[in-house]
Structure 1
Amino acid sequence: MTTEVNNQRIQISLDLSPELYQTLNNLMQHLNGDNAEVLIKAIALLEVAVDAKQKGKHIWIVDDNQNLETEIVGI
């Protein structure tokens, strides 16, 4: 059995504020990636957050000692 991998890409155009564009560029530098990689990772993270919320779970940021620092809300 063979499986074909579909590598088709769809190009989109975005209108961003200068501030959001700068944020995107900063993230590209931190990830050593490109715009597409940043957006793919951002969408994947949002997908995890939305899925967790639908299951009644919460997204938190904790420090090295597992102390709650921030709860992500509004997703």
Structure 2
Amino acid sequence: MSVFKRGGKYQMRRRVPRRYRGIEPRDIIWISLHTDSESIARSKADLAWAQLGFLERGWPKGRGRQGRAASAAYSQEEG
């Protein structure tokens, strides 16, 4: 995960794993960390990525077509 300063504030970016490209249209996810402190940005980056846990555990609650696709992708990886 990359943390860098842009426009006076830190942001993070991370590439979407290939197995989720069918449910996540972005190739790279950019998230503003709303701070000008590098140390705070680094600690916030881990939390921000964890909050996007659907990329690691399937779409929240597995609801809807995208949720089923994410759950199926995750299940294939686990199994």
TM-score (norm 1): 0.32
TM-score (norm 2): 0.31
Larger radius of gyration: 1
Greater helix share, structure number = 2
Query: Which structure is richer in relative contact order (CA contacts within 8 A, separation 6 or more)?
Result: 2
Greater strand share, structure number = 2
